[in-house]
């Protein structure tokens, strides 16, 4: 355990747990004494790292020796090593409400960056879909569930309003999802239309109930009606039409149990996790092999609903890293982040964004024209000819070149200039020229050499989903999903740091020479016995159990 994650967690993570932030949640005079906060918060961190249920976490807290070592638990009584599932849920709620996962992630990550001397000048950014613990519903199931929740709450808390609902709607939708399974494709649209008519009827009858309109289930029912249907007509008489898939927005409700999850047409429903990670362009340099180990660490994690586009994540990521003093100088990302607006905004902050150009393909030959970036005035063409006149319209400036200089031009066939009576006109915008230059730069070896490092973050996301179990979170809601995601990426940073730490020990001769000779002796003895006595058998046990073995 002294050469694995328990010792690293005990020495690096445990002292940085935000225990003091929770002290104000408890009273020193009233109530039963709380559990030891340091070990309990550490157990909640380990729960996300190892992707455990509350029951599995309680068992690990009580019986796993490596957890006891990592959490510095010295006592052997039930008071020190027993925790109930209810206690875990209560403390987790407090951590979510106070946002301490962000504090813990930043504190430990910054300490690891400083301790290993990780260079943050080069970083890469990507996103991944994260699913919460919600069921994926069809449109009919969604409408039935939302309407059923509203009717059941009406029956419990507003009996008078419940009595005004038509009996047919109460019997059909008041008991949940009865009748929504086994629908044929030809019946689904008619069933969906019936749900829409029932939703409109119920919401119209409840329009005068002030208290009811404050319920979350009422707001969700109103949102589903607007998401899934088009209502035409007056309040007394309306025509309900089912929206086509092309008419629906990505901001539509996906499941009433997780009202903050949204839909992305490319990957599905849930949340997006934006991940920023360091990398070293010197990793493949032979001269750096004997240098200190520098793990690639995740420096920033943000969780947003799935309908939020990727390019909006660049600004907040840079602001956070600048606040912590770990801002990158070169940021590598895929084409989803490569719009002209993002590149210009990042460049104003002193950061170079390496990403494929995003946007409409500009006209061929426009990249060679020189322009004043401040005024937007075109200075000269690729052949060095200056325009005879530049008209700076607000939307689309025009540069006019003379017929005399253009008629004998060798690039006339590929030139975007259009022949007119006054001369050859080139209509352009500053954005078009910038995009044309970026697309030309994408074909160079220099760009390919920088951009090839982006692929490494795919391995990080794969490790997060497969090793940390982060593809589907056990909770619902943006706050709880963010809490779990940040702690899982914190665990990923810890595991990578442990691997780098062991590599450093190995390079510095951390293995005892006596144990090394002993292992070699037993290895020779085993091979000799196998050759003399068991030539037809394969080895049935490894030699990894010997002292001094590096995990």
CA 79/CA 92 separation, integer angstroms: 19
Give the pLDDT score at 182: 56
CA 448/CA 355 separation, integer angstroms: 10
Rg (CA), the chain: 32
70, 46, 69: which is closest to 57 by C-alpha? Answer: 46
Give how far Cα 334 sits from Cα of 310, 314, 390, 454, 458, Å.
10, 12, 36, 7, 11
Report the 10 Å Cβ neighbour count for 3. Answer: 16
The tokens 């700076």 sit on which residue? 392
Contact 479, 96 (CB under 8 A): yes
Model-level pTM?
0.83
CA 337/CA 320 separation, integer angstroms: 18
Q: Name the residue ranges covered by the structural domains of the chain.
A: 5-98, 122-130+264-355+446-501, 139-247, 366-430, 511-551
CA 79/CA 61 separation, integer angstroms: 12
The encoded tokens of residue 374 equal: 């401040």
3-state DSSP assignment of residue 144: helix
Q: List residues bridging with 125 in a β-sheet.
A: 276
Contact 172, 179 (CB under 8 A): yes
For every one of its 551 residues, what pLDDT tens digit does the chain have, with 9 covering 90 and above? Answer: 777 889 888 888 888 888 887 777 777 778 777 778 889 999 999 999 999 999 999 999 999 999 999 998 887 777 778 899 999 999 999 999 988 899 999 999 999 999 888 999 999 999 999 999 999 998 999 999 999 999 999 999 998 888 889 989 988 887 655 544 556 667 788 888 999 999 999 999 898 888 888 999 999 999 999 999 998 876 667 788 998 877 888 889 999 999 999 998 888 899 999 999 999 987 655 444 444 568 999 999 999 999 999 999 999 999 999 999 999 999 999 999 999 899 989 998 999 999 998 877 777 778 788 888 778 788 888 888 888 888 887 678 888 888 888 888 888 777 888 888 888 888 888 888 888 888 888 989 999 999 999 999 999 999 999 999 998 999 999 999 999 999 999 999 999 998 888 887 777 665 545 445 545 655 665 565 555 554 443 333 333 332 333 33
Report the 10 Å Cβ neighbour count for 53. Answer: 12
SS3 of 266-287: the string is CCEEEEEEEEEEECCCCCCCHH
User: What CATH number labels 122-130+264-355+446-501?
Assistant: 3.30.420.10
β-pair type (352-354, 370-371): unpaired
Query: Which residues, 6+ apart, have CB-to-CB distance to 9 below 8 Å?
Result: 42, 46, 70, 494
Give the pLDDT score at 420: 87
Give the pLDDT score at 548: 37
Q: Is the dihedral of CA 386, 391, 397, 403 positive or negative?
A: negative
Give the pLDDT score at 152: 92
Give the pLDDT score at 271: 95
SS3 of 36-68: the string is CHHHHHHHHHHHHHCCCCHHHHHHHHHHCHHHH
């Amino acid at each position: 355990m002294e050469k694995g994650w328990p010792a690293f967690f005990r020495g690096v993570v445990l002292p940085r747990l935000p225990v003091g932030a929770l002290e104000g949640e408890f009273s020193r005079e009233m109530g039963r004494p709380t559990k030891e906060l340091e070990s309990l918060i550490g157990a909640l961190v380990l729960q996300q790292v190892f992707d455990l249920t509350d029951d599995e976490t309680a068992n690990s807290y009580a019986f796993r020796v490596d957890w006891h070592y990592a959490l510095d638990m010295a006592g052997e009584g039930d008071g020190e090593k027993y925790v109930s599932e209810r206690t875990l849920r209560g403390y987790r709620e407090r951590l979510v409400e106070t946002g301490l996962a962000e504090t813990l992630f930043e504190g430990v990550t910054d300490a690891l960056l400083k301790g290993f001397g990780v260079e943050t000048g080069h970083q890469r950014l990507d996103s991944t879909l994260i699913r919460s613990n919600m069921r994926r519903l069809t449109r009919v199931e969604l409408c039935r569930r939302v309407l059923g929740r509203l009717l059941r709450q009406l029956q419990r808390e507003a009996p008078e309003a419940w009595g005004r609902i038509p009996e047919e709607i109460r019997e059909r939708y008041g008991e949940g999802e009865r009748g929504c399974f086994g629908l044929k494709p030809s019946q689904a649209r008619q069933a969906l239309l019936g749900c829409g008519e029932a939703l409109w009827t119920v919401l119209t009858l409840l329009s005068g109930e002030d208290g009811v309109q404050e319920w979350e289930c009422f707001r969700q029912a109103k949102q589903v009606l607007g998401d899934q249907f088009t209502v035409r007509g007056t309040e007394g008489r309306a025509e309900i039409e089912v929206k086509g898939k092309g008419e629906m927005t990505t901001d539509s409700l996906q499941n009433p149990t997780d009202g903050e999850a949204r839909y992305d047409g490319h990957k599905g429903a849930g949340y997006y996790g934006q991940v920023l990670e360091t990398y070293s362009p010197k990793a493949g340099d032979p001269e750096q092999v004997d240098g200190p180990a520098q793990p690639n660490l995740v420096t920033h994690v943000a969780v947003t609903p799935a309908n939020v586009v990727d390019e909006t994540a660049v600004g907040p990521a840079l602001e956070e890293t600048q606040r912590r003093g770990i801002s990158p100088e070169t940021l590598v990302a895929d084409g989803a982040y490569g719009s002209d607006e993002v590149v210009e905004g990042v460049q104003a902050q002193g950061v170079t964004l390496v990403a494929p150009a995003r946007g409409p393909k500009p006209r061929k030959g426009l990249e060679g024209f020189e322009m004043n970036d401040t005024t937007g005035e075109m200075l000269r063409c690729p052949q060095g000819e200056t325009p005879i006149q530049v008209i700076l319209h607000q939307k689309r400036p025009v540069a006019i070149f003379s017929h005399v200089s253009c008629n004998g031009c060798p690039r006339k066939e590929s030139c975007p200039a259009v022949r007119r009576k006054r001369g050859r006109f080139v209509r352009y915008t500053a954005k078009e020229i910038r995009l044309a230059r970026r697309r030309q730069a994408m074909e160079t070896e220099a760009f390919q050499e920088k951009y090839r490092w982006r692929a490494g973050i795919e391995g990080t996301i794969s490790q997060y989903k497969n090793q940390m179990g982060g593809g589907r979170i056990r909770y619902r809601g943006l706050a709880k999903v963010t809490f779990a995601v940040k702690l899982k990426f914190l665990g990923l940073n810890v595991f990578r740091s442990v691997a780098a730490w062991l590599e450093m020990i190995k390079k510095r001769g951390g293995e005892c020479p006596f144990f090394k000779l002993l292992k070699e002796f037993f290895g020779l003895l085993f091979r000799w016995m196998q050759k003399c006595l068991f030539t037809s058998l394969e080895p049935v046990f490894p030699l990894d159990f010997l002292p001094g073995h590096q995990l």
